[in-house]
Amino acid sequence: MSHTVLQPHRVNALPHNVSVVGYTFAVSPRSLSTTAQLFNVMAQPFGAAAQLFNVTAQSFIVPVQLFNAVAQLA
């Protein structure tokens, strides 16, 4: 496997963007799954915020129902 190792001066002679593109293509399948995981993590706070909003809305509904019951008695 020693023939696959590049000499240091040949690495320096390569354009920088070629090595970056090669690295990007090599990592892209893993980065896609990482991006999906990151998106799921980012979506979780929105789900938590929606649940919190529903709980907050329910806490408003109970006083309104209580107010309606009191108004019907009056």
Rounded to an integer, what distance in angstroms lies between the CA atom of residue 57 and that of residue 42?
A: 24
H-helix or E-strand spanning residue 7: none
d(CA 70, CA 74) in angstroms, rounded, equals: 6
Decide if pLDDT at 60 tops 70: yes
Distance from CA of residue 24 to its chain's centroid? 20
Place of tokens 């009191």: 70
The rounded distance, in Å, linking the Cα atoms of 11 and 16 is: 9
The tens digit of pLDDT for each residue in 11-20 reads 455 445 445 5
24: left (phi over 0), alpha (psi -120 to 50) or beta: alpha
| 31-52 pLDDT per residue, tens | 677 777 878 777 888 888 888 8
